[in-house]
Amino acid sequence: MADRVHPRDSPFHTETTPLSLSRPSPPESEKPVPPPGTYVIQIPKDQVYRVPPPENASRYQSYTRRKARRSSCHCCCCWFLGLLAAIVFLSAVAAGVFYLVVRPESPNYSVESIAFKGFNLTTTSSPPSAILPEIHVTVRAQNPNKKIGIYYERESSVKLFYSDIKLCDGVLPAFYQPSKNVTEFQTALTGSGIKLTSAVQKGLVDAQKQGKVPLELDLRAPVRIKVGLIKTWTITVKVACQLTVDKLTADANIVSRDCDYGVDPW
């Protein structure tokens, strides 16, 4: 058992200890004296545990496992963040190189001509009869890029509106447009049994008398971009043109046009 040392001001019992051959014991006057009112407990070295005792073993193992899990999660997070940063950096570098080498430019679209059939708006029957419009539109597509070709694929759509009322629709032809090329293509738009209200029909008649009929052409075309031997995934080209024509006949003239271009990458 450990020896218990009593406070300095209390009587204590001294025992004779054997002399050490290697290092003599210091005299009583040189030994450190604990402050009054304190106790010093001496424990033999063979009773000092370097491994937790059995009653604390389970608690020690739980602590070490928790620490290992924390270290593993920390390493995984660091690895994932490093990989993500590398991917973002390489993507930025690739995009910069692509732009410097290819110098991509946006295609240009415009409506060159438009012809109308089936708009018989001279009658004033009540209610107005349904019309069967047929419209031929010539669209001009310009590819100004030097190293990019454009594949216009199927499942496109072209719609013509007057005051948010769809008059007719159709599709674009599928074709390939090489670099530095201008292509004009004609598409036929048709409508079946379009019923106009009296107010809409009167608005069209009045607009023709003024020589300014406002229309809106909406175009959607799925395309694939070709750079060298590489083709991209299918993206959607969106063109919205604000048109003003003088009349709704076969010899109609375009008074003004303004087309906006956009892309839906997915």
Could you report the average pLDDT of every consecutive run of 10 residues in the chain (266 residues)? 48 44 54 68 65 59 57 69 80 62 79 93 66 94 93 95 94 94 94 87 92 96 90 93 95 95 85
Q: What is the pLDDT of residue 113?
A: 96
Kind and range of the H or E element at 91?
helix 54-102
Which DSSP category does 194 fall into? B
Q: Quote the pLDDT of residue 20.
A: 43
d(CA 134, CA 114): 11
Contact 182, 141 (CB under 8 A): yes
Q: What is the pLDDT of residue 14?
A: 43
| Run of H or E including 213 | strand 213-227
- Specify the long-range contacts of residues 219-222, CB closer than 8 Å, at least 24 apart: 219/109, 219/139, 219/156, 219/157, 219/158, 219/159, 219/172, 220/156, 220/157, 220/158, 221/152, 221/153, 221/156, 221/172, 222/152, 222/153, 222/154, 222/155, 222/156
Cα–Cα distance list, 266 to 90, 149, 180, 218, 229 (Å): 22, 19, 25, 19, 21
Say whether 40 sits in a helix, a strand or coil. strand
DSSP letter at 95 equals H
Distance in angstroms (rounded) separating the CA atoms of residues 239 and 216: 10
Q: Looking at residue 194, what is its pLDDT?
A: 87
Give the pLDDT score at 15. 45
Q: What is the DSSP string of 114-168?
A: EEEES-------SSPPPB--EEEEEEEEEE--SSEEEEE-SS-EEEEEETTEEEE
Amino acid at 207: A
Task: Give first-to-last CA distance, the chain, whole Å.
Answer: 81
